[in-house]
Amino acid sequence: MSESLQFLLSCQNRDGAICDYPGGHPYPEVTGYSIPTLVAAGYVAAAERCAQWLVDHQREDGSFPGLDGMVSRTFDTAACVEGLRHFQRWDTRYYAAKRADDWLMDQFGPRGLR
């Protein structure tokens, strides 16, 4: 296992989130975009734990907050979609990605992002 992958796995907390550093704060964006890396490396169970954490922490409107946990952010939500899309269409994680997609589309006005 590479040092990078070891570090990534050391940042996963017991709830499944990837934190900003080992023992740090759960970070939805990093959790989302870590899923493809974990799947590609064969750590599917770790990726599934990430996805479940995202599903459990998705906001009612479909969005995800940034590291501050306060404001819903388009970039962070898009990164979560990237990870959640790795699961089958019938899976609840796929539906979480669809809800996040819908929220992202609602953020666009006539001149782009609001």
pLDDT digits (tens, 9 = 90+) for 6-21: 999 999 999 999 999 9
**93 vs 46, which has greater pLDDT?**
46
CA distances from 29 to 2, 66, 76, 109 (A): 22, 7, 5, 23
- Which percentage of the chain shows pLDDT scores above 90? 72
pLDDT per residue over 50-104, tens digit each? 999 999 999 999 999 988 889 999 999 999 999 998 876 656 777 888 899 899 9
Q: Is the pLDDT of residue 112 over 70?
A: no
CA distances from 70 to 8, 28, 55, 59, 66 (A): 24, 12, 17, 11, 7
**48 vs 91, which has greater pLDDT?**
48
- Sorted by sequence, the CB contacts under 8 Å of residue 22 that are 6+ apart come out as 7, 10, 11
pLDDT at 13: 97
pLDDT at 67: 85
**95 vs 28, which has greater pLDDT?**
28
Pairing of strands 108-109, 112-113: antiparallel
